[in-house]
Amino acid sequence: MATTTFSGPVVSTNGFTGDVTGDVVGAVKVPTYTVATAPSAATAGAGTVVYVSDGAAGSVILAFSDGTNWKRSDTGGTISAS
């Protein structure tokens, strides 16, 4: 696969694959869901990160997929709206 260097914002309508090399500079935006609208953690795949607006007992939290469940980034517990 070829390597390409960009000097401005890069947008993908179908996601990115592969490894990120070098430094990520600036803000990283992840998709936003509620507990009810979050995709299957198994389908998303282990290591996927999302922002869940009500996943920490009703409060916001970053969550990651362990391949089975969405886990809270602060406690490792499964996300829950209540």
> 16-25: which pairs have CB atoms within 8 A and are 24 or more residues apart?
none
Cβ–Cβ < 8 Å for 48, 65 = yes
Domain ranges for the chain: 33-72
Q: What is the pLDDT of residue 48?
A: 94
Q: What is the mean pLDDT of residues 22-36?
A: 88
Cβ–Cβ < 8 Å for 79, 35 = yes
Q: What is the pLDDT of residues 35-74, one digit of tens each?
A: 999 999 999 999 999 999 999 999 999 999 999 999 999 9
And the tokens for 40?
């299957």
Q: What is the pLDDT of residue 28?
A: 83
And the tokens for 12?
């993908």
Question: What pTM, to 2 d.p., does this model score?
Answer: 0.73
